[in-house]
Structure 1
Amino acid sequence: MAGSVLPYSARAGDTVPPLPPDACDCHMHVYDGRFPPAPQARLRPPPATVDMYRSVQRRLGTQRTVVVTPSTYGTDNSCTLDALHQFGNQARGIAVLDTSVSDAELERLDRAGIRGVRFNLAVGAVTTPDMIEPLARRIAPLGWHVQVNMPVSELERQAAMLRRLRVPVVFDHLARIPLPAGVDHPAFAIARGLMQERRAWVKLSGAYLASKTGAPAYADVGPLAQALMQSAPDQLVWGSDWPHPTEDHKPDDAALLDLLTSWCQGDRPLRDRILVANPARLYRF
């Protein structure tokens, strides 16, 4: 199966348990030609609009979503805010900001549904690690979190700082823990420790970014995902990473969602917790 916006009937198999009400895709991006890319943007994918994503939702059976400002727009969150307005109360957002943001702007973003600040230090970074701690202090009264997408070398360098934060940390894409090292890599111990202290979350997303064995099963990712589940099941959420802007060959979104079911090894309450209760707590739906 190819393409991220095929009709629901094209989803693999009828044996996958239906999703619970309010299931949430906690990581996707919107790209809309009405909003110009930042001059320094490295990724400039074709349009991936709210209407296109609604087709994905119908196919998957998800109802809630978290829109993450992509690197394409730098610190301009206009496209994400427009998407939140279109989606309504079933969506929340993650902004990209630097330390020049005003308190009034933070309050405006909060009212619009923003719930965190992303530091994408892996692709097209427009912010720096030294901005994380001062911004974390400013967003703490809003109940937001810091979301990080960073190479594991940077994660190891910043581990002490991340432990000092008084807001939760959300690690993108399986915390970018490299394979085949997986659970034996020092980054796993860092993420697991923070999760078990309820100070961090991990997004079960981007299996194709980590896998060495590849599609469709991404078999080498399963043990890592399951180890994270065993470590702190209440600190996990799932995301599609639609429209997969780094990938020339787009993965199938239904297959990515079905991976979560397989990782849960038949534990349907665990899958449903990752899709509903955990996101509701993290993003305040």
Structure 2
Amino acid sequence: MRLFDAHLHVVDPAFPLVPNQGFVPEPFTVADYRARVAGLDVVGGAVVSGSFQAFDQTYLLAALERLGPGFVGVTQLPADVPDAEVLRLDAAGVRAVRVNLRRGGSAPAADLDRLARRVHELAGWHTELYVDARDLAELAPVLHALPQVSVDHLGLHAHGLPDLLRLVETGAVVKATGFGRVELDVADTVRQVLAVDPRALVTGTDLPSTRARRPFTDADLDLLVAAVPEEHRDAVLELNARRLYRLPA
């Protein structure tokens, strides 16, 4: 199974780390990532900035250089980031901005609309949200009008699934990631997203699974594959993510 790992973190203590709610993760370098996924057919991925990295870009650019072609970045930026900085990051392989509404460390919700529109107009980036789906109803007037958004970890909670599916109807992408974080039936949620739009689901490991109740296991991929009809598996495991991150098939 070829896998585009649409959600991974690199934690390299050689670069700045910012305590988030008193938490600083253990190291998980590019070498650690490669060793962990050596038994998987990973053909690319998205390195996602965490709350503990705030607006630091040095770790991300170094990670992308080490990982090489096929890997892109998802970063956190303040709403007043200069245009030139967005374009510099885009040239280095960054393809999206993350707004972390659950943990903080990113631009706040008040800046979401302005920031999302700016980076899309400047560089074609989409916006990735770490958000509890139970909060999507309140955000709906903003989110439904944005050019492109994605939601991490299946929206985290079953009670927000109807609002998540309404967002998928308007073109949002959902990440089937972080199964050790969620409070929902993974297989059922995956099937419901696919029923709305088979192009809307992407897959990732969420390694190293910081602060999750349990870390990613290879069995998570087996669970996902069993839930996805065969005709959609290549799309869910690889091709949908390539489309999202504007990479060649």
Q: Indicate the TM-score class for this superposition, using the shorter chain for normalisation.
A: over 0.9
Q: How many residues align?
A: 246
Question: SS where residue 98 of structure 1 aligns?
Answer: coil
Aligned with 1:271 (options 230, 233, 243)? 233
Aligned with 1:228 (options 193, 200, 203)? 193
Q: Which amino acid aligns with 2:197?
A: A
Q: Deviations over 1:22-50 (max 9, x none)?
A: x2010010000101212556431111011
- Residues 25 and 64 in structure 1, CA contact (< 8 A), matched pair in contact too: yes
| Deviation (angstroms), 1:194 | 2.7
Cα RMSD for the two superposed structures: 1.7
Q: Deviations over 1:128-176 (max 9, x none)?
A: 11111111221122111011111234322111111121x2010001022
Structure 1: how far apart are the matches of 2:99 and 2:163? Answer: 18
Q: Deviations over 1:223-268 (max 9, x none)?
A: 122111212111110111100001364342x11111211111xx33
Gapped regions of structure 1 (runs ≥ 5): 1-18, 213-219
The percentage of aligned residue pairs carrying the same residue is: 33
Instruction: Give the structure 2 partner of residue 127 of structure 1.
Output: 107
Question: SS where residue 210 of structure 1 aligns?
Answer: coil
CA spacing shift, 1:41–1:76, aligned 2, 3 Å: farther
- Residues 42 and 124 in structure 1, CA contact (< 8 A), matched pair in contact too: no
User: TM-score of the superposition, structure 2-length normalised?
Assistant: 0.92
Structure 2: how far apart are the matches of 1:130 and 1:248? Answer: 30
Instruction: Give the structure 2 partner of residue 30 of structure 1.
Output: 10
Is 1:202 aligned to 2:183, yes or no? no
Structure 1: how far apart are the matches of 2:195 and 2:46? Answer: 25
Question: SS where residue 275 of structure 1 aligns?
Answer: helix
Aligned with 2:25 (options 45, 51, 55)? 45
Q: Deviations over 1:159-198 (max 9, x none)?
A: 1111121x2010001022x2xxx3xx4x323322232232
Structure 2: how far apart are the matches of 1:40 and 1:238? Answer: 26
- Residues 192 and 232 in structure 1, CA contact (< 8 A), matched pair in contact too: no
Structure 1: how far apart are the matches of 2:20 and 2:37? Answer: 31
Q: Which amino acid aligns with 1:162?
A: L
Instruction: Give the structure 2 partner of residue 11 of structure 1.
Output: none
User: TM-score of the superposition, structure 1-length normalised?
Assistant: 0.81
Structure 2: how far apart are the matches of 1:162 and 1:249? Answer: 30
Question: SS where residue 73 of structure 2 aligns?
Answer: strand
CA spacing shift, 1:41–1:29, aligned 2, 3 Å: farther
1:209-220 correspondence runs (5 A): 209-211=181-183, 220=185
Larger Rg: 1
Structure 2: how far apart are the matches of 1:123 and 1:171? Answer: 14
**Consecutive aligned runs of 4 or more in structure 1 exceeding 6 Å deviation:** none
